[in-house]
Structure 1
Amino acid sequence: MAKPTKPTDQDSELDRIKTGAFERNVALTKMGVGAGAKIASHTVRNLFRRGESKDQANRDFYRQQARELADELGRLKGSVMKAGQMLSLYGQYFLPEEAVEVLASLQDNTPAVSWSFVEPQLIQALGHGVIQKLHIERKPIAAASLGQAHKATVKATGETVVVKIQYPGVADAIDTDIRTLSRLIAATRMAPKALDLTPVFHELRDMLVRECDYVQEKAFTDTFSQQLATDARFIVPKVYPEFCAQRVLTTRYEPGYSVSSPQVQALSQARRNKLAQAFVDLFVTEFFDWKLVQTDPHFGNYRIRIDPAGEHDQIVTLDFGATRPFEPQFVDSYAKIVRGSLLRDRAEIAEGVLEIGLMDANTPQSVLEGFGDLTELIVEPFRKPFSPGVPEHLYTPGGAYCFGPSDLPARVGQTAALKMMSKHFKIPPQEIIFLHRRIGGVLVTLRTLRAELRLHELLKPYLKLPD
């Protein structure tokens, strides 16, 4: 389940969510009308502002507009809330920074829905007879935009499982929700008028359809389980087909600690390094070998099973709804960008960029060079130890890159702002958006673990790097 949050108490639950197209449209249309009035008022007031005062007023306005949008999406839940979360990924390329920040926060505030609202969905999907084989706890252990999870016991065996139930009406509302959200973004004027966001919303719709398909998620879970069956570093929950359907997914309950928990943070440097290495190994294997990537890196989707003996800590991998296959050609072209960045070969970077479609043949050389500056910086942790240009304090005496004190995200952001503001740089295709979502999550995990790793050798067999 993407981006789950544990409800703090039963009082935080919603009785229901608005599932009908009409009532959801009414809620968002009212907000759009209100936004129009506020835009007019803001525009008038800005006539009397100058310089920094005007800039600050604009930032405050966009933040407030985005906050009101996020609040309403949070109340509606379902596909429109998930679309808002995903929009924050695309939005970094065309929305004000303040709006992206607020939309991204949607993942952190998700109240659960009452059992009386989700129970009919469960009965319709599995039938009374099958449900009678389970003892299901009415209070959910996690809630997200598309559904929530309930702990249960298989009566015949005593096994503890998690039943993930999609909210009623979510899948049916996707098309209406996407259309309404696109109109709302236009009404709030958070995106540039001249920018055609139709392709973005088409991609959001496709992703939502996939994440609402629990049959596909079950298949992806089974695939990852098979692929990782011989790797003791990972645990993939067992699937219980008898208790699965299009809108219901039941897997074994696999407890563990969050990467950011005090228990994990208290582990020795060596143990944290082993966990961090496993996170990187998994991503590299998914992308280059399997060409199948779980693109939602939220901490709730990865739990740490601490070994009391201190020998074999494990990573529990959860929620495969956001899994994406990647075409071999895309992987090969992306590899060119990474290889060119590590070797500081601008021609190879440009070749990969053009093949993927980030830019085209008419892109000025100066823009391609700016992109090269950016990608060469991004691959910093994968360079050979003590490479020129990498701050010396980010290496241990043995040449491991220190993720804890690294300010790489800030330096990447500054470089992107300086180099990539160009009409020639397109909104990236969805493959790039969701791949970078996972890469960003891996880097955040390594920083949270305060990892010290030598990663250059990891990429050599995939990129055919020289010694």
Structure 2
Amino acid sequence: MRERGRTRRLLGLGARTGGALLRTRLGGEPDWRALGEALFEGLSELKGPAMKLAQIMAQWDDLLPTDLADELARLQRQAEPMPWASIRETLVAQYGDLDAHFRDIERRPFASASMGQVHRAVTREGETLVLKVQYPGLAEVLESDLVQVRRLMRLGRWLRVPQARLDALFEELAASLRGELDYHAEAEALARYRARYAHLEALVIPEPLPELSGPRVLAMRHVAGTPLRELEGADAELRQRLATVLADWLTEELFTHGELHADPHAGNFAADPQGRLVIYDLGAVIPVPEARLVAMMRLLEATLAGDPLAMDEALLALGGRQGQGAPLSLYREAAEAVTPLFRPGAQDFADVRIHRRLRELSPKVWAAMDRLQPPADTLLLSRTLNGHYWNLVRLGARLDMHARTRPLLAWARH
């Protein structure tokens, strides 16, 4: 019954969205704000795959109407939490008598996401922890939810999103959500990353507590911090320090260890009271083989050289396309948009001229997507790197990308 109820609600949201899109096709102007509010309320309560999809869509501000994108973006920071009674059931299933383990558990979560929410807790010994609790019943309804989400995604064709892009996005979404249900894997990732980056004193990763964790509850030591999205008006020196640490960490993560944090949501990063960069969530970590890194660097080198034929060849080697490729004029325009970030000297990631060029380019890339036909894993890598780029933009980073990439380009040639 519960599964059928979720299906009906998802279909209802789909019908409402389809009606709004139909009105645009008929020359009308739907109330995008009202639609966004309805989607926010419905998906915030349902959680799961549809909410995750909406969070991804909120990043498409070059495609969606502004009012709709703004409402969907609220799902990344203001999602309605699951009622405490439901969360308590999961905690009791994990711990039994809660009073035997905890002096207090805050009923109101301080973070709510698509697959779970996070509550502060105090142990009997007085230590403050955080408990990441998976939403009850989500594992049981995940596959049926994904079936409905795939149907909903067909509406994207009305926004002129190519079918190849929709198919790749769905495969990315499905793989990501299945992985996020595995809290054992996230606990292992936290432990691995803590050991791996212990030498980076300006980086903090919460410590997992295996003795208090289980399949649907992940316990970690509490690390206080101000979320990245709240730091845009902070001291410039602090923001530059965080941006430098973020860039250094990403470079080491990719080129030394062949992995990448694949959920660059700004809420997953923070600054602690000492000004160190905190990484909260490692539920999505993807491998990046050396051959792919070499192809990425060769694509960058061809881009900086403004060579469209070499860009297409590198994109094919990267796995970034399976179709006939984009028009050469699009490659040239992409090179012109990206090159300013890699000029010698510190470049300003907050330069609105660069953003404007990239936003103007984005719809043209979408239009060429049927010719590019990127596979899902390449799409995920691209979206992840793009998300980390925008976190540097939020920090107003000033980085010498020319100096940073020169040794990496030389490495890729050998």
Corresponding residue number in structure 2 for 1:14: none
Of 319, 330, 334, which residue of structure 2 is paired with 1:370? 330
> Is the contact between residue 32 and residue 188 of structure 1 (CA under 8 Å) also seen in structure 2?
no
Matched ranges for 1:209-224 at <5 A? 209-224=178-193
Distance 1:39 1:418 in 2: 21
For the residue of structure 2 that corresponds to 1:164, the secondary structure is strand
Corresponding residue number in structure 2 for 1:463: 409
Distance 1:414 1:176 in 2: 37
> Is the contact between residue 82 and residue 145 of structure 1 (CA under 8 Å) also seen in structure 2?
yes
Corresponding residue number in structure 2 for 1:230: 199
TM-score by length of 2: 0.86
The answer to whether residue 209 in structure 2 is matched with residue 240 in structure 1 is yes
- CA gap 1:343/1:31 in 2 versus in 1, 3 angstroms: closer
Corresponding residue number in structure 2 for 1:121: 90
Corresponding residue number in structure 1 for 2:4: 22
For the residue of structure 2 that corresponds to 1:407, the secondary structure is helix
1:260 Cα deviation from its structure 2 partner: 4.8
The answer to whether residue 126 in structure 2 is matched with residue 180 in structure 1 is no
Which deviations, in whole Å up to 9, do the C-alpha atoms of 1:105-148 show, x marking residues without a partner? 43233011222111111222x23157722232223222222111
**Kindly, what percent of the aligned residue pairs are identical?**
25
Q: Which shows bigger deviation, 160-169 or 77-86?
A: 77-86
Matched ranges for 1:267-286 at <5 A? 267=235, 269-286=236-253
- What one-letter code is carried by the residue in structure 2 that aligns with 1:201? F
Matched ranges for 1:314-463 at <5 A? 314-360=276-322, 362-363=324-325, 367-385=327-345, 400-418=346-364, 421-422=367-368, 424-463=370-409
> Is the contact between residue 50 and residue 149 of structure 2 (CA under 8 Å) also seen in structure 1?
yes
For the residue of structure 1 that corresponds to 2:283, the secondary structure is coil
1:221 Cα deviation from its structure 2 partner: 0.9
- What one-letter code is carried by the residue in structure 1 that aligns with 2:251? V
- What one-letter code is carried by the residue in structure 1 that aligns with 2:45? R
Corresponding residue number in structure 2 for 1:300: 267
- What one-letter code is carried by the residue in structure 2 that aligns with 1:204? L
Distance 1:435 1:360 in 2: 16
> Is the contact between residue 168 and residue 379 of structure 2 (CA under 8 Å) also seen in structure 1?
no
Distance 1:97 1:79 in 2: 22
Distance 2:281 2:216 in 1: 14
Distance 2:229 2:245 in 1: 16
- What one-letter code is carried by the residue in structure 2 that aligns with 1:288? F
Cα RMSD over matched residues? 3.2
Structure 1: gaps spanning 5 or more residues: 1-18, 47-53, 308-312, 386-399
- What one-letter code is carried by the residue in structure 2 that aligns with 1:72? G
Of 63, 66, 76, which residue of structure 2 is paired with 1:107? 76
- What one-letter code is carried by the residue in structure 2 that aligns with 1:464? A
TM-score by length of 1: 0.77
- What one-letter code is carried by the residue in structure 1 that aligns with 2:55? Q
The answer to whether residue 109 in structure 2 is matched with residue 163 in structure 1 is no
1:450 Cα deviation from its structure 2 partner: 2.9
- What one-letter code is carried by the residue in structure 1 that aligns with 2:257? W
- CA gap 1:358/1:33 in 2 versus in 1, 3 angstroms: same
Corresponding residue number in structure 1 for 2:254: 287
Which deviations, in whole Å up to 9, do the C-alpha atoms of 1:243-266 show, x marking residues without a partner? 11111111110012233546x844
Distance 2:317 2:233 in 1: 42
Distance 1:301 1:110 in 2: 15
Q: Which shows bigger deviation, 339-348 or 73-82?
A: 339-348
Which deviations, in whole Å up to 9, do the C-alpha atoms of 1:408-465 show, x marking residues without a partner? 1221111343576336543533334333434333333333333333222212222118
- CA gap 1:377/1:21 in 2 versus in 1, 3 angstroms: same
Structure 2: gaps spanning 5 or more residues: none
Distance 2:370 2:33 in 1: 28
Q: Which has the higher helix share?
A: 2
1:290 Cα deviation from its structure 2 partner: 1.6
Aligned residues: 409
- CA gap 1:240/1:380 in 2 versus in 1, 3 angstroms: same
Which deviations, in whole Å up to 9, do the C-alpha atoms of 1:43-67 show, x marking residues without a partner? 6xx3xxxxxxx4xx35x46776565
Distance 1:188 1:412 in 2: 22
- CA gap 1:414/1:438 in 2 versus in 1, 3 angstroms: same
> Is the contact between residue 118 and residue 131 of structure 2 (CA under 8 Å) also seen in structure 1?
yes
For the residue of structure 2 that corresponds to 1:464, the secondary structure is helix
Corresponding residue number in structure 2 for 1:146: 115
